[in-house]
Each structure stands twice: as C-alpha cells, then as structure tokens.
C-alpha cells in the first residue's frame, strides 16, 4: 500500500511540474502582450521585456520547486534501496569477519 502512495505521488509531482510550466508560459504571453491586469482591474503595463522576465523567473521557480520535490522522492528511493541491501546481507555477526 505504501508503494501505491509513493508511485501516486511521483505521478502527481510530474503533473504539477507540467501544469506549473504551462502556467508560466501562459502568464509570460499575457504579460508580454499587455493583457495582464493588476489589482482592481488596473492594467499592469507589460510588454515584451516584462514577458521575458516573467518567463525566466517563472522557469527558475518551476525548476527549483520541481527539483525539490524530485529530490525528496530520490532520497526516499535511495533509502529504500539501502534498506533492501542491508536486509539481503543478513544479520550482523552471522559468521562474517
């Protein structure tokens, strides 16, 4: 049952990273075309340089957050492999020098 949840979380992380990437691209296009609005519907300005800035900073954010989530999954997998290797080795002091 535990493996089901871990595999499900891996799929969820992949979906979240893809959705975040799509959101960054859409936001960059909206800001670049001047279609974004600020608080109370006030135009936020924008332009190609602002769109490029949103794209670059958003990509850095997606890489950071996605990398942190995948790092956590990698630590779990490495810990699981180490525990399996130690279990396969047998008990300590079982006739080994």
* pLDDT tens track for 7-57: 999 999 999 999 999 999 999 998 888 877 777 777 767 788 989 999 999
pLDDT-derived band of residue 93, with 50, 70 and 90 as boundaries?
A: low
Residue 37: strand pairing partners: 43
Nearest Cα residue to 6 out of 88, 97, 80:
80
* pLDDT tens track for 70-86: 998 889 889 989 988 88
Cβ(13)–Cβ(70) below 8 Å: yes
**Residue 62 pLDDT:** 97
**Residue 94 pLDDT:** 59
First to last CA, the chain: 38
**Residue 70 pLDDT:** 92
Domain ranges of the chain: 2-89
Cβ(13)–Cβ(73) below 8 Å: yes
Which residue matches tokens 């279609």?
A: 35
């Amino acid at each position: 049952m535990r493996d089901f949840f871990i595999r499900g979380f891996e799929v969820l992380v992949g979906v979240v990273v893809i959705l975040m990437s799509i959101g960054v691209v859409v936001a960059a296009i909206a800001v670049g075309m001047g279609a974004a609005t600020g608080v109370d519907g006030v135009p936020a300005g924008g332009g190609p340089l602002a769109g490029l800035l949103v794209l670059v900073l958003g990509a850095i954010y997606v890489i950071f957050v996605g990398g942190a989530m995948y790092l956590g999954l990698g630590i779990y997998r490495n810990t699981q492999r180490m525990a399996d290797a130690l279990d396969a080795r047998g008990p300590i002091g079982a006739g080994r020098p």
